[in-house]
Structure formats: structure tokens, C-alpha cells
Amino acid sequence: MGVAMTQHKQVDNQLEIIEFLIDETRPDGSVYSGHYGINVAKVLEIIRLPEVTNVPSKHDPSVLGAFSLRGKVLPILDLAAWLDKNMAGTENAKVIVTEFSGVQAAFLVSAVRSIHRLTWDRIEAPNRYVQAYSRDSITGILRIDDRVLFVLDMEKILASMDSSLDMSRIEVDSTPVEDAGQFNLLVADDSSSLRAILRSSLEKSGFTVTTAKSGREAWDLLLQAQDEAQAEGVPVTDRIHLVVSDIEMPEMDGHELTVKIRANPATRDMPVILFSSLITEALRLKGVRAGADRQVSKPDLPGLNSIVRELIAEKLHK
């Protein structure tokens, strides 16, 4: 019925992107094929469109329903509908079965084209126009030959299917932390909505928060802080006290950012927390090798908040 995905061992700073198509029927009747991408690490298998059972009271009209796959009932979402597009027929459609954030789900697409192996610096950050065009759901752009692939924010899309994954609804401990205002935290995540949620959550505890939309931008901010700290004769760890980073980000991923922080004498003692939907056992080991102090799986916002408080408390009592 389908093709199971073989998980390849990822080389440092490399990833594999599955390219898929969404065929859209335009108002004039013509068909346009949009090219999209998803990290292969999130994909379990690719199957034909199964028989789908309607699910009552669904809160997102793009959710088609559910189907059974080897004894498990999985929700299925029409990606074209979620992106406010009309899919041009489903006769030869494919379903991408995924697992991330501890949840399995499936996504209907028009076709699956190929797998591309590349480094994170090939992924470009999207501009505001692209974000507005896609319900703010594109986290990266990949140019291949004569076409452009849009890498989707699958966490945001999945949260529309399962409200328990919507971090904006998750309550965390907002009790003010002692002297929290003197601590500046750097948060790196390619999702604008998640950056806002993390900033709000940490600021409620009293911390000062700086955000970056990629590992590259976070590293540039650290180098800028280092130059400013040197000019003032203080260590950079007095300017930025802790880093929270996603793993999947355009230009530079969280693992490479962590490696750079550890390799730089001025920042090597700076605490780093990786906060990602891809904390599998293999990626956890990769995070350990990179030098991360802690690793937390999305959407465990309370767990992240607790670890930030723990690491800051250690700094307070040094």
C-alpha cells in the first residue's frame, strides 16, 4: 500500500527534504503545481489515499477525518485546504504519514516527487510576502534547479488538528523568578508564532528575551554581544546568559549553533537548551555531542520553563 521511509544517519549540518506537490485549481480553471518540502526525519511512510472516516465536531475544516493504519487511528489533513487552496483532484493523491512532537498524523498531497540531501545553509529564511501568502506557515525556502520548494511549519499545522499541541494554550509557571530582570535569554526558532509564545512565556517570569529566526541570526547576535562585552571589559556571558534553540532552522540549525557556542572560548560556558519536535534518540545523542546542556521535546513548554528556571538558579547561586 505504501512506502516506508528508511531513516538515514544524518551527517552534521545535513538534512534530507522530501519534495511533494500540491496541484491547485485556479479561479480560471487552470492548474498550478506548488512545490513543498518536509524534513525526512518527520516522515514514517508514504501511502495512497485510504478510506477516510468523517470525524464529527472537527475544529478545522481542512481535517478530512481519520483512518486506520496497522491498528492505529490517525487524523488526516488536506494540506491544500489548510493553505486555502483547491486541490485539483485526488485520484492519484498521496498521503504523507508523519511522527513528531510525539504524535502521528497524516497529510494529503497531490504527489511526492523526490528526496534531496543538503546542508542547512541551503535553506533560506522566508520574507514577509511569502509568510502572508501561506498563513505564516513557511519556515524555509529551498531553490533546486528551476523550482522553489517551500518548507512548511508542520508543528503549526499539526496544532490546528490537535489543540493539545497548541503551545499558546499551555499554562506554565509564571511566578516571577528572583532577580530575573538581570538575565537576558536568547531564543532562536524559525516559527514566528512560536517565538512570540516563548518570548511571552519567559517574560512573564521576569526574564529579558531576545529572539532570532535562525541559528545564523542567533550566532550573529552572540558575536555582536561578544564585541560589545569586550568593549566594556566584561564577559559575553554577562550580556546573554542562556540560549534556547530549535533544531530545524534555515541557514544554520540548532546543532551547529550549539557546536559554535561550545567552540568559542567566550561562549563555551553559556547554557544551551535545545527545544524541538525532533528529539528522537538519535537526535538526542547528536545534541549531547554538540554540547547542549538540556533537550526538551515540543510542546513541553512547562518542562522548558522549569529547566530555564533551574539553570538560571544555578547561575544565581554561583
Tens digits of per-residue pLDDT, 251-290? Answer: 999 999 999 999 999 999 999 999 998 887 888 999 999 9
- 11 — pLDDT class (breaks 50, 70, 90): very low
- Region class of 142: left (phi > 0), else alpha (psi between -120 and 50), else beta: beta
**Among candidate residues 86, 88, 105, 90, the one with its CA nearest the CA of residue 49:** 90
Mean pLDDT (whole number) for 75-96: 91
CA distances from 3 to 68, 96, 117, 276, 300 (A): 16, 10, 19, 26, 31
The listed range with the strongest mean pLDDT (90-94, 125-129, 183-187) is: 183-187
- 112 — pLDDT class (breaks 50, 70, 90): very high
Mean pLDDT (whole number) for 239-254: 94
Burial of 174 (0-12, 13-18, 19+ CB in 10 A): middle
| Domain range annotation of the chain | 2-164, 167-316
**Has residue 84 got a pLDDT over 80?**
yes
Which CATH number is 2-164's, of 1.10.540.10, 3.40.50.1370, 2.40.50.180, 3.40.470.10? 2.40.50.180
The domain covering 167-316 belongs, at the CATH homologous superfamily level, to: Response regulator (3.40.50.2300)
In angstroms, the CA 186 to CA 93 distance is 42
**Has residue 248 got a pLDDT over 60?**
yes
235, 265 in Cβ contact below 8 A?
no
In angstroms, the CA 125 to CA 36 distance is 14
- 95 — pLDDT class (breaks 50, 70, 90): very high
Length of the chain: 318
Average pLDDT across the chain, whole number: 88
In angstroms, the CA 98 to CA 76 distance is 10
**What nine digits make up the cell of 157?**
499545522
**Among candidate residues 99, 92, 87, 80, the one with its CA nearest the CA of residue 38:** 99
**What nine digits make up the cell of 247?**
533544531
pLDDT digit string, tens, across residues 172-206: 777 777 777 789 999 999 988 889 999 999 998 89
Give residue 56's pLDDT: 63
Give residue 3's pLDDT: 56
Give residue 47's pLDDT: 96
